[in-house]
Structure 1
C-alpha cells in the first residue's frame, strides 16, 4: 500500500489533496495541530510544527509521498531535515508570489525569485516561500515537485476574495454594485483542479517546477461573467483607482477592499505562463463553472455574512452615495 504523509491535511487545499490519496487507496497520515478533523479514513497525528519534537511520532516510517504547503520556512526546513531521507518523493506547494517581480508579462518558471528569508527576518510571505523551496530542492532535488499556484478559488475559500464578486452581485440584485475602473486582470485556479495536479505529480513522482495558474482575463470580463452568473440587474458603478484609494478602499484582499483588483502595472501577476502545468495534464475548468460552484457555496455560507475580504454592503452604499 502507498504510504502518504500530508503535513497539514485538515485545511482547505491540503484536505482536498488528502481525500484524493484516500480515494486512490493510499494509507494517508495527516500531521496537524488538531483543531480540525482529518478527512475520513485518514489518520491524524497531532503535532505543533514549531516544536523540536514535531515529527518524532512519524520520523521512523518510510513515505512514498510527502506533501507540504506551509508558508513558514523554518517549518519546512525542519520537516526536510527530519523526513527527507525517508521520502521517495516530496511535493511542496509554493506560490507565484515567490517571484521577485510582477511587472513583466508572461514569464515562466525560470524567472528570478525573491531573496530567500533568513532566520530572524521579519515575516515576508514571498521570501518565506522562496526559502522553503530552497530547503526542499537542496535536500531532495530530483525527488521533489514544486507547485506554484496563483489565486486559488472555489467552494470553501477561507480568504473570501474570489467569492466576493459573485456573492455581491447576487446580494445586490437590482441595486448598484461598485467596481474598480482598471485595465489590470486576474488569473485563478479552481481548488479542485489544483488538488488534482498535486495528487498527480505525487502519484507519478514527477520532479520539476510548475506554475499552477489559469489563463489571465481582464478583470472587467471576470466581473461581467460573475454578474451574469449571479443574475444581477442593477447598475454597475465604476470608480477610478486613485479615488478609491483616497476613500480607503484597498487593492486585492482584506477588509475594506475590492478583491482581485490590482495596480495596472502588476501585469506579471496575472499573466504567468501555465505551459508546464498544462503539459502535466493540469485541468483548467471554465471560469463560469467555478463561478457557479462558488455562488452555490456563498449562498450556503450566507451572502450577507461578515467577510475576510471586501466591502461590507453598508460601506459600499456609503461610497456609492459619494460618487453620485
Structure 2
C-alpha cells in the first residue's frame, strides 16, 4: 500500500500543519515539536491555541488570500486534516511547489461499502464530492474528493491516512470515553448500566497518540499511498468488558435490543442522549472492522485496549465524571429507560 524513501531528519524538518488548534491537529503539532521539527500551523486560531513551540499563522482557508502570509516559504512536509474539499483544492494549487510531501488525514468513511469485514485499502472509494463545502451527510464523499485533489497534485509525494474511531484523552466529542466513564460512575454509585445488545458487533479504536506517531513516522520517511490507521479488530462486548474491568465495576449490565432503543429515541454512535459506538444499520456493520495489516507492517504500534481505556479514564476523571457530556445518556434518561425496560 505504500512506497517509502529513507528520509531521516537528524536536524528536524520544516513542517506545515493545515489546522493544528483542535484535538488531532494540536496533538500532531505537539509531538512534531517534541521530535525537533520546526512547526507552522496555518489556522484561524479560534478553536484553541497551538502547541507550545509551534508558530501560528492566522488564516481563513475559505478566503482567496488564505496563503498570502506564507507565500515564498517552503516546507519539507505538510499535514492537512480538513473535511472541506475547497480548502484542499486551494491548498493543492498554492502549496504543490512549496511542500515536499503531503499527508492528508482522511477517514474510513471514504469507502463505498461499509459492510465488508476485514476489508483493506484496496476497497472502492465513494465518488468524490464536487462541491467545495461538505455537510455531515457528505463527509465520506468530501474526504474522497480531498484525497483525489491532493493525489493529483502531489502524486508520489502524497499519503492518505484513513482512521476509524480515534479515541483517548482529549476527545471532546465524549464518545470514546463514555463507556469507561459510565462504568466508573457505576463503580462509585452502583448500577445497573444500560448497554445495547450488540455484544458480538465489531468495535475498533485507535489511541490518538498512536495515530499521531504513525502519521509523523510516515511523513518523516516520505511514504506514499494509503493506510487504514485503525485499532485491532475486536467486538463491542470486548470493549465493554475491558471498560468495566478498568473502572472496577462488577455489577449488573442490562442489555436492550437495538430496535427497542431506537423506538425509545436513543441515538447511535455519538451525540446527546446516545449510547455511543454502536450502529444499527447492517450496511455499516463493518465500519469498525477494517484491516490494519498494511499499517502495522509499516510500523503502526498500538497500545493494548486496557491501557487506552486507563488513560482515557484518567482524563475523564480530570474533566469530571458527572459533567454534562456531548455524547452518551444523561443519568436521568438512563434511569427512565431502565425503568421502562423492566416494565
Q: State the TM-score, normalized to the length of structure 1.
A: 0.97
Match of 2:75 among 51, 60, 63: 63
Q: Which has the larger displacement, 82-91 or 267-276? A: 267-276
Q: CA deviation at 1:13?
A: 1.0
Distance 2:254 2:61 in 1: 47
Residue deviations 1:185-230 (CA, integer Å, cap 9, x gap): 2110000000001111110111110000111211011101101111
- Name the residue aligned to 2:289: 271
Uncovered stretches (5+) of structure 1, i.e. residues with no partner: none
Distance 2:313 2:44 in 1: 31
- Name the residue aligned to 2:49: 37
- Name the residue aligned to 1:156: 170
- Name the residue aligned to 1:92: 104
Distance 2:243 2:264 in 1: 25
Distance 2:128 2:212 in 1: 26
* Aligned partner of residue 206 in structure 2, secondary structure: strand
- Name the residue aligned to 1:213: 230
Q: State the TM-score, normalized to the length of structure 2.
A: 0.92
The answer to whether the 8 Å contact 2:77/2:101 transfers is yes
Tell me which stretches of 4 or more aligned residues in structure 1 moved more than 4 Å. Answer: none
- Name the residue aligned to 2:314: 296
Q: CA deviation at 1:157?
A: 0.5
Uncovered stretches (5+) of structure 2, i.e. residues with no partner: 1-11
* Aligned partner of residue 237 in structure 2, secondary structure: helix
Aligned length: 324
Match of 2:88 among 76, 88, 104: 76
The answer to whether the 8 Å contact 2:111/2:140 transfers is yes
Match of 2:145 among 128, 131, 141: 131
CA RMSD of aligned residues (A): 1.3
Distance 1:76 1:30 in 2: 15
- Name the residue aligned to 2:244: 227
The answer to whether the 8 Å contact 2:85/2:132 transfers is no
The answer to whether the 8 Å contact 1:94/1:146 transfers is yes
The answer to whether the 8 Å contact 1:185/1:262 transfers is no
